[in-house]
Structure 1
Amino acid sequence: MADWSIEDVAARFAEAADTGRRLPRVRVQGYFNVWPELARDAWEAYPEETPEYRPLPPSPHAVERMLETMRWMQWLQVEQRHLVWMRAQHWEWKDIARRCGGCTRTSQRHWQRAIQTVVDRLNQARVMAS
């Protein structure tokens, strides 16, 4: 593979966030409900009881890429991890800036510096491996 770029790494973080969202929910093992589902009349049903549609679960290859991407997070500081993950989840820059306590452009520069750290480490590891 060619050298990693900022766009490649940002896309991998976005893919990892999407894969994590699509994973099945974790439930406590051993507990289940034996009661039958109650059939409610229309006037008994709550208006907010809408069925929850979850996307298809991710493929094993997507989970492996997500775990590899999560290992990259260890190269970042805690604040940088939060920033990168919020952007991977498609937060708006103004919301990220509000959460980090700075302006939008400063948050963008911090995000770019964090992604560049990962890019440098990946490219350095690729050069050493060859």
Structure 2
Amino acid sequence: MAEWTVETVADRFIEAARTAHRLPPVRVQGHFNCWPTIVRMPWENMGEEPSSRYYPPDPAAVERMLETMQWVLWLEEEQRHLVWMRAQRYPWKDICCRFACDRTTAWRRWEKALTVVVTQLQAVREHRVGHKLR
């Protein structure tokens, strides 16, 4: 990646949240169901919504998600919650209620948290470039 910005970091957090939701559910190992699947008649399913299928994310998306999850270690706990809520597309109203502040303050805190991540990513990038020059 050439240059990290607040927008690119925010996009990566959004992608990580979407990827996390597409992962298969965690199940307890060793338990299974021996009962046969019940095939229902169409009239038995009249009011039921059809089940939607989710396709698992590709391995590259999972790798990017894991890398993005490492970035939250640079943030304080409140900043982590704020960034993750925004990545999951919570409305600003819900975020403001959660953090007991107005919308502008919540946006400033979110922007500051992403700036911390951008600064750390730039430092890591400069360290790698400086290390290669030696």
- Structure 2 length-normalised TM: 0.88
Query: C-alpha distance in 2, partners of 1:74/1:20?
Result: 17
The amino acid that maps onto 1:4 is W
Distance 2:95 2:109 in 1: 11
Q: What is residue 107 of structure 1 aligned with on the other side?
A: 106
C-alpha change, 1:3 and 1:41, in structure 2 (3 Å) is: closer
* Structure 1: stretches of 5+ with no match in the other structure: none
Task: For 1:91 and 1:107, locate their aligned partners in 2 and report how far apart those are by CA, in whole Å.
Answer: 12
Cα drift, residue 102 of structure 1: 0.7
User: Contact conserved, 1:22 with 1:54, CA < 8 A, in 2?
Assistant: no
* Offset from partner CA, 1:43-82 (integer Å, 9 cap, x none): 76584x4343132110011000000000000000000000
Q: Secondary structure at the match of 1:115?
A: helix
Unaligned runs of 5+ in 2: 130-134
Report matched runs for 1:65-84 at 5 Å. 65-84=64-83
Q: How many residues align?
A: 129
Amino acid at match of 1:98: C
Counterpart in the other structure of 1:33: 33
Equivalent residue number for residue 13 of structure 1: 13
Give the aligned CA root-mean-square deviation in angstroms.
1.6
Give a deviation string over 1:75-102, Cα, whole Å, max 9, x none. 0000000000000001111111111111
In the alignment, the residues of structure 2 paired with residue 99 and residue 46 of structure 1 have an alpha-carbon distance, to the nearest angstrom, of: 39
Aligned match of 1:56: 55
- Contact persistence 1:22–1:58 (CA under 8 A): yes
TM-score (norm 1): 0.91
Give the distance between the partners of 2:46 and 2:75, measured in 1 at CA: 45
Partner of 2:132: none
Identity between Structure 1 and Structure 2 (%): 53
Distance 1:51 1:44, change over 3 A: closer
SS of the aligned residue for 1:98 comes to: helix
**Amino acid aligned to 2:57:** P
